[in-house]
């Protein structure tokens, strides 16, 4: 795991020293991604500068340092990630006569040899792993950017500046691009509105105009003297989904479990490759317990596992993780975190995430990464089980709601929704409050006005897709809060080329795999772990596991009344059922309570109307209304408010 940065000038420059200073400055601001070694490569006549920060994982010797040039001299790379099957690629190169005289045993050198023998795209297609890299091809005089299939590793890029200073910038984090003199820090209103809806800036957007995220599974090509960026996909999740639908798994449920365990064993075994200490996050849930169980089954020694706990039982799974660890015999470390320790992280969030990010589980994710880093440099994670095996309860809830709702003709629902929204949430709340002494049952409900408006949004949904998008939104109509913003789509499926024939649950899973997983979950884990120089790996995102999961009929994924049935059955072969079967506890913190208590002054300062409207991006009325309702205790707007607070905190720090 590393950090990469660089730029390609629109017109070549003759001052190599200045360009090296710029690219090193770009790299230094994300030093935590690679504290072990920093270096740069500059080709002034071409206008190219590449920078690399190394977190040494494989081949700790100087033979693994970057920027690295291929043995034939054609390719120079800066690379972030791991290619887990690189030993097999080396054997293939050696068998085909395409291997150089190896200088070391890093996967970086393997990639470069593959480029020489097979070309960039063919090598990437052969590679199993997580990666984001930039490679300069001297023969074609072109710069290529490549991102892994599902988006584990980040990569931002874009043309910035004018005239002689115009340059194509790229880097692992937005913070590095901001160090280049051509970078214009102009917030994109549409990206801001999309962020306020989802809690993250969805790819390919970034929070800044003119800067994009490279979409997963693609290769970008840029040539000196041209502003054209050509994007070519080499793998698409929608194609894997469609192929799974065309060729569904034909075996029995037990055979499906056998096949899944075999694939997961292979993925976990490959991802345990490291020349540094390695461990795993363990929450005690199905996903992380499955990964740890397979690790321990294959390991020659006790696997190191890490859990953080909270005294608040509503947010604590540490006792369950401890029981699983004891059964498996891992070397387990747990840390109970005080509310003050958790709140102390908030001040660091703008620098950790470098663009607005509002999933509050970012805080415990950082804390467990910090705990793991004390003992290991690599940690495996159980992420992606919910998206691949129908684990989220919201899938079933949305499906049930839509089955009932769809029986009422949409025009009737639309009229009812319009009537319900003629009064503001605050007006409905006042009516409910005044009626509580007449209708005592109203005392059982909080956020009445907000719930009525959310219910109206549900009623107005034209189909299950729009319903799901609404139910998973923070602000339902963020465009009214952002100056000059268009309304974010409530039907992102339309832009994703979704395969036909999917059930409603499968469509929700597909949307999460394509958007929520890479843009929220993987972003959260990457930035939190990299903030403490920890590499994280996600075995369930081996593309072979993804492709297999989509061949499984939904009746196998949700079987015997349980979500993630095949994953559970793999786990039950290693851990007793009674240690696992329990209600799921979210990996979160009591943000809503904190905003009424210890965080109130901090939040009040950031939500001051004058501060909100100071740069002309946001309108404060709806935000202040939500803040006031939240403070009464009769409304819970923690998600909406946290998204604004994280934007305001980021804006203040940027």
Q: Could you tell me which of 381, 382, 368 has the C-alpha nearest to residue 287?
A: 382
Query: Would residue 172 count as lying in a domain?
Result: yes
Using the predicted structure, report yes or no on whether residue 280 has a pLDDT greater than 60: yes
65 in the same domain as 191? yes
Name, of 343-347, 438-442, 559-563, the range with top average pLDDT: 343-347
Using the predicted structure, report yes or no on whether residue 309 has a pLDDT greater than 60: yes
Using the predicted structure, report yes or no on whether residue 194 has a pLDDT greater than 70: yes
Q: Which residue has the higher pLDDT, 268 or 477?
A: 268
Q: What is the domain-level CATH number for residue 218?
A: 3.60.20.10
224 in the same domain as 253? no
State the pLDDT at residue 654: 85
Residue-number span of the structural domain to which 425 is assigned: 392-490
Using the predicted structure, report yes or no on whether residue 423 has a pLDDT greater than 90: no
Reported as a single tens digit per residue, the pLDDT across 580-623 is: 987 666 667 889 999 999 999 999 999 999 999 998 999 999 99
Does this model's pTM top 0.85? yes
* Cβ count near 480 (within 10 Å): 13
363 in the same domain as 296? yes
Q: What is the domain-level CATH number for residue 380?
A: 3.40.50.620
Query: Would residue 500 count as lying in a domain?
Result: no
Q: What angle do CA 180, 182, 184 make, to 5 degrees?
A: 100
Q: How many whole angstroms separate alpha carbon 493 and alpha carbon 321?
A: 37
Name, of 44-48, 165-169, 278-282, the range with top average pLDDT: 278-282
Q: How many whole angstroms separate alpha carbon 65 and alpha carbon 69?
A: 10
pLDDT band at 494 (very low <50, low <70, confident <90, very high): low
Query: Would residue 514 count as lying in a domain?
Result: yes
Q: What 3-state class would DSSP assign to 585?
A: coil
Query: Would residue 496 count as lying in a domain?
Result: no
Half-sphere exposure for 315 (CA within 13 Å, toward CB): 21
Reported as a single tens digit per residue, the pLDDT across 126-145 is: 999 999 999 999 999 999 99
**Which of 267-276, 390-399, 435-444, 639-648 bottoms out in mean pLDDT, i.e. has the lowest?**
435-444
Question: Does residue 203 contact residue 518 with C-beta atoms inside 8 Å?
Answer: yes
State the pLDDT at residue 410: 78
303 in the same domain as 204? no
Question: Final residue of a domain: which of 187, 216, 235?
Answer: 235
Beta partners for residue 230, in sequence order? 221
242 in the same domain as 114? no
Q: How many whole angstroms separate alpha carbon 257 and alpha carbon 270?
A: 20
Task: Report the sign of the C-alpha dihedral through residues 628, 634, 640, 646, in that order.
Answer: positive
State the pLDDT at residue 636: 85
pLDDT band at 147 (very low <50, low <70, confident <90, very high): very high
Query: Would residue 495 count as lying in a domain?
Result: no
Query: Would residue 319 count as lying in a domain?
Result: yes
Q: Could you tell me which of 177, 195, 194, 193 has the C-alpha nearest to residue 185?
A: 177
State the pLDDT at residue 417: 74
142 in the same domain as 217? yes
State the pLDDT at residue 495: 62
Task: Report the sign of the C-alpha dihedral through residues 473, 479, 485, 490, in that order.
Answer: positive
191-217: average pLDDT: 96
Question: Does residue 64 contact residue 58 with C-beta atoms inside 8 Å?
Answer: yes
Question: For residue 266, what are the contacts with CB-CB under 8 A and spacing of at least 6?
Answer: 542, 544
263 in the same domain as 142? no
264 in the same domain as 161? no
169 in the same domain as 63? yes
Q: Could you tell me which of 561, 571, 579, 562 has the C-alpha nearest to residue 540?
A: 571
291-300: average pLDDT: 97
407 in the same domain as 326? no
By CB neighbour count within 10 A (0-12 exposed, 13-18 middle, 19+ buried), where does 355 fall?
A: buried
Reported as a single tens digit per residue, the pLDDT across 207-225 is: 999 999 999 999 999 999 8
Q: How many whole angstroms separate alpha carbon 598 and alpha carbon 121?
A: 52
How many independent structural domains does the chain possess? 4
438 vs 431, 447, 451, CA distance in Å? 11, 18, 20
Query: Would residue 498 count as lying in a domain?
Result: no
5-14: average pLDDT: 87
Query: Would residue 269 count as lying in a domain?
Result: yes
Question: Final residue of a domain: which of 217, 235, 253?
Answer: 235
Using the predicted structure, report yes or no on whether residue 56 has a pLDDT greater than 70: yes
Reported as a single tens digit per residue, the pLDDT across 569-580 is: 999 999 999 999
Using the predicted structure, report yes or no on whether residue 83 has a pLDDT greater than 60: yes
Question: Considering the chain, what percentage of its residues have pLDDT values greater than 70?
Answer: 94
By CB neighbour count within 10 A (0-12 exposed, 13-18 middle, 19+ buried), where does 102 fall?
A: middle
State the pLDDT at residue 621: 93
Using the predicted structure, report yes or no on whether residue 274 has a pLDDT greater than 90: yes
Instruction: Round the average pLDDT of the chain to a whole number and report it.
Output: 92
Q: What string of H, E and C letters represents the secondary structure of 40-88? A: EEEECCCCEEEEEEECCCCCCCHHHCCCEECCCCCEEEEEEEEECCHHH
Question: Does residue 482 contact residue 618 with C-beta atoms inside 8 Å?
Answer: yes
378 in the same domain as 413? no
513 in the same domain as 373? yes
Q: Does residue 283 have a cis peptide bond before it, meaning omega lies within 30 degrees of 0?
A: no
């Amino acid at each position: 795991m590393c950090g990469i940065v660089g730029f390609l000038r629109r017109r070549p420059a003759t001052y190599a020293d200045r360009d090296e200073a710029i690219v090193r400055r770009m790299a230094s601001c994300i030093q935590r991604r690679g504290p072990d070694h920093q270096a740069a490569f500059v080709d002034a006549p071409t206008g190219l500068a590449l920078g690399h920060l190394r977190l040494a994982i494989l081949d700790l010797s100087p033979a693994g340092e970057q920027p690295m040039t291929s043995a034939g001299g054609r390719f120079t790379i800066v690379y972030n990630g791991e290619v887990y099957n690189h030993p097999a690629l080396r054997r293939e190169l050696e068998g085909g006569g395409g291997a150089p005289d190896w200088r070391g045993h890093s996967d970086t050198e393997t990639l470069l040899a593959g480029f020489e023998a097979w070309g960039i795209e063919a090598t990437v297609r052969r590679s199993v792993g997580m990666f984001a890299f930039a490679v300069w091809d001297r023969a074609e005089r072109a710069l290529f950017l490549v991102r892994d299939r599902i988006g584990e590793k980040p990569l931002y890029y874009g043309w910035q500046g004018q005239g002689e200073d115009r340059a194509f910038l790229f880097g692992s984090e937005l913070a590095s691009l901001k160090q280049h003199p051509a970078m214009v820090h102009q917030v994109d209103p549409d990206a801001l509105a999309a962020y306020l809806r989802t809690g993250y800036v969805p790819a390919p957007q970034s929070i800044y105009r003119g800067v994009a995220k490279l979409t997963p599974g693609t290769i970008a090509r840029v040539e000196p003297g041209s502003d054209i960026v050509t994007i070519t996909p080499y793998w698409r999740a929608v194609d894997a989904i469609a192929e799974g639908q065309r060729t569904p798994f034909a075996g029995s449920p037990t055979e499906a479990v056998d096949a899944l365990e075999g694939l997961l064993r292979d993925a976990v075994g490959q991802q345990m490759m490291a020349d540094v200490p390695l461990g795993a996050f363990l929450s005690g849930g199905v996903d992380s317990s499955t990964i740890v169980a397979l690790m321990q089954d294959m390991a020659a020694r006790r696997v190191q596992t890490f859990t953080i706990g909270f005294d608040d039982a509503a947010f604590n799974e540490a006792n369950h993780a401890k029981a699983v660890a004891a059964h498996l015999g891992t070397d387990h470390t747990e840390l109970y975190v005080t509310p003050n320790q958790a709140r102390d992280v908030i001040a660091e969030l703008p620098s950790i995430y470098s663009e607005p990010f509002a999933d509050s589980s970012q805080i415990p994710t950082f804390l467990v990464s910090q705990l793991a880093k004390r003992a290991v440099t690599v940690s495996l994670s159980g992420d992606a089980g919910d998206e691949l095996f129908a684990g989220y309860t919201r899938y079933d809830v949305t499906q049930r709601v839509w089955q009932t709702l769809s029986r009422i003709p949409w025009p009737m629902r639309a009229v009812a929704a319009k009537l319900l929204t003629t009064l503001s949430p605050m007006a409905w709340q006042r009516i409910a409050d005044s009626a509580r002494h007449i209708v005592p049952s109203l005392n059982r409900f909080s956020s009445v006005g907000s719930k009525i408006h959310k219910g109206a949004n549900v009623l107005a949904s034209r189909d299950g897709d729009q319903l799901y998008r609404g139910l998973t939104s923070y602000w339902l109509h963020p465009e009214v809060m952002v100056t000059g913003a268009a309304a974010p789509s409530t039907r992102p499926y339309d832009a994703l080329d979704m395969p036909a024939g999917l059930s409603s649950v499968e469509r929700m899973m597909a949307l999460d795999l394509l958007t929520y997983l890479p843009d929220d979950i993987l972003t959260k884990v990457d930035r939190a772990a990299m903030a403490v120089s920890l590499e994280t790996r996600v075995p369930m995102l081996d593309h072979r596991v993804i492709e297999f999961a989509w061949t499984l009929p939904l009746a196998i994924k949700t079987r015997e009344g349980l979500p993630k049935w095949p994953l559970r059955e793999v786990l039950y072969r290693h851990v007793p059922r009674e240690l696992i079967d329990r209600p799921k506890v979210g990996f979160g913190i009591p943000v809503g309570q904190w905003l009424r208590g210890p965080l109130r002054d901090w939040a009040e300062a950031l939500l001051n109307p004058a501060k909100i409207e100071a740069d002309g991006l946001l309108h404060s009325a709806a935000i202040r209304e939500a803040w006031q309702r939240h403070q009464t205790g009769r409304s819970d707007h923690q998600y909406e408010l946290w998204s604004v607070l994280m934007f305001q905190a980021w804006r203040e720090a940027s």
